[in-house]
């Protein structure tokens, strides 16, 4: 790994489906070199949140992932 790659600022936004989460994605895109959107799946009816997060990830051109919290 090069020194240059270690200096890049990265951010992760834990997406919960609200406007605040979207604002953090936009802020991250503006001020950081790499932003990733993460939605949490915990079995309490969060399917819509995950769907919205995936859509925002596509719209904003950021990687989005879902973390399965069932294991915790």
pLDDT 10s digits, 1-60:
455 554 678 999 998 878 888 899 999 999 898 999 999 888 888 888 899 999 999 999
Asked if pLDDT for residue 63 goes beyond 90, the answer is yes
Strand order in the sheet with 10-15: 10-15, 34-41, 63-68
Q: Which long-range contacts (CB under 8 A, 24 or more apart) does 43-48 make?
A: 43/69, 43/70, 46/17, 48/17
Q: What is the pTM of this model?
A: 0.74
Q: Which of 59, 38, 57, 39 is nearest to 49 (CA)?
A: 39
Say what the pLDDT of residue 62 is.
93
Do 38 and 7 touch, CB atoms closer than 8 A?
Answer: no
């Amino acid at each position: 790994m090069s020194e240059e790659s270690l200096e890049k600022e990265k951010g992760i936004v834990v997406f919960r489906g609200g406007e605040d989460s979207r604002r953090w994605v936009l802020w991250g895109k503006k001020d950081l070199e790499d932003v990733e959107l993460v939605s949490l799946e915990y079995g309490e009816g969060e399917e819509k949140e995950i769907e919205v997060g995936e859509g925002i990830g596509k719209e904003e051109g950021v990687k989005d992932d879902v973390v399965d919290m069932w294991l915790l």
